[in-house]
Amino acid sequence: MIGKSLLGLEGVDKSTIRTILDETCVMRNHIDNNEKNLKVLQGKSIITLFYENSTRTRTSFEDAGKYLGACFVNMAVSNSSVAKGESLVDTGITIDRMGTDLIIMRHSVSGACKMLDESVNAKVINAGDGMHEHPTQALLDMATMEEIFGSLEGLKVAIIGDIKHSRVARSNIYGLLTMGAEVTLCAPRTLLPIGIEDMGVRVCSSVEEAITGVDVVMGLRIQLERQKKSLFPSIAEYNKYYGINDKRMKLANDGAVFMHPGPVNRGVEVSSSILDSKLSFVNRQVTNGLAVRMALLKLMLGE
């Protein structure tokens, strides 16, 4: 159903996302019951190829593969022949010829995963490519929202922060709109892609307006590593106008929650008082990240 590879959520239909989210619930039960020896992927081999830093995504893919019984190898890019000048495609083909069933890749260049996918027989999961997509993050975000609210249909989600450089925002927009949620974006004008409204989202210039009446407030990190020049005056000023704090969170609906893909810069995109409060589901997102990745590995590699 997912096809050979999962490169993004653009064009992925509702029933496919439904299948992944349903399987995620099954996997979450296994995690909550501490069942880590499931053996459904015995004989399958998975390799991660991360050209960018990661804590949650890479580790949870590794746990997911091992809990399901797959043979799992992490390629340390900085210690590999990549450091000797080997091209991405040549590295991919080398891994492919080892009989690898699935390559999970993160890369700083948008479209790099598609390029890899076109060069190898192995399946590919995009674990984040530049400013393009990060499908498993959006799937775990949707799984978390569904766990809290029961359904994504009609759910009001505000995404606040560096939308322009965020593959997380892009994948969430595709996924959430497909599942019937309403998406509002808010960022300084310099951190919003031109024409983003055409994706079917509401755009607000004031964070107060964006948050008022929503069910989910999703904060995003300022991606300084992707900004070639300063796109806003200072971190302090960003926090003053766009930071999520107690006063701003009160504008959201009763029962509203705070989410963030991590890593969080405390005191920049969100205050510690919100991040450490019971409104914050950031840690639950991490558990759901493991569940979603187990679900995907099983759906893509299982018999």
Residues contributing to the site for ligand NCD (CB under 6 A): 56-57, 128, 134, 137, 167-168, 221, 261-262
Q: Which is nearer to ligand NCD, 28 or 221 (CB)?
A: 221
Least distance to ligand NCD, CB of residue 78, Å = 17
Least distance to ligand NCD, CB of residue 173, Å = 14
Could you tell me if 185 and 202 are in contact, meaning their C-beta atoms sit under 8 angstroms apart? yes
Tokens of residue 285, six digits: 């997102």
Residue nearest to ligand NCD (CB): 221
Q: Which is nearer to ligand NCD, 44 or 107 (CB)?
A: 107
Tokens of residue 25, six digits: 């619930």
Least distance to ligand NCD, CB of residue 50, Å = 10
Count CA within 13 A, CB hemisphere, residue 27. 28
Q: Which is nearer to ligand NCD, 119 or 227 (CB)?
A: 227
Least distance to ligand NCD, CB of residue 248, Å = 20
Q: Which is nearer to ligand NCD, 44 or 170 (CB)?
A: 170
Q: In whole angstroms, what is the distance from residue 185 CA to residue 168 CA?
A: 13
Q: Which is nearer to ligand NCD, 251 or 284 (CB)?
A: 284
Residue 133's DSSP bridge partners are: 129
Tokens of residue 77, six digits: 């890019």
Q: In whole angstroms, what is the distance from residue 118 CA to residue 288 CA?
A: 30
Q: Reduce the DSSP state of residue 271 to 3 states and report it.
A: coil
Least distance to ligand NCD, CB of residue 165, Å = 9
For CA atoms 85, 107, 77, 89, give the dihedral sign: negative
Least distance to ligand NCD, CB of residue 109, Å = 14
Q: Which is nearer to ligand NCD, 107 or 221 (CB)?
A: 221
Residue 202's DSSP bridge partners are: 184
Report CA-CA distances (Å) from 68 to 40, 57, 59, 192.
5, 17, 14, 40
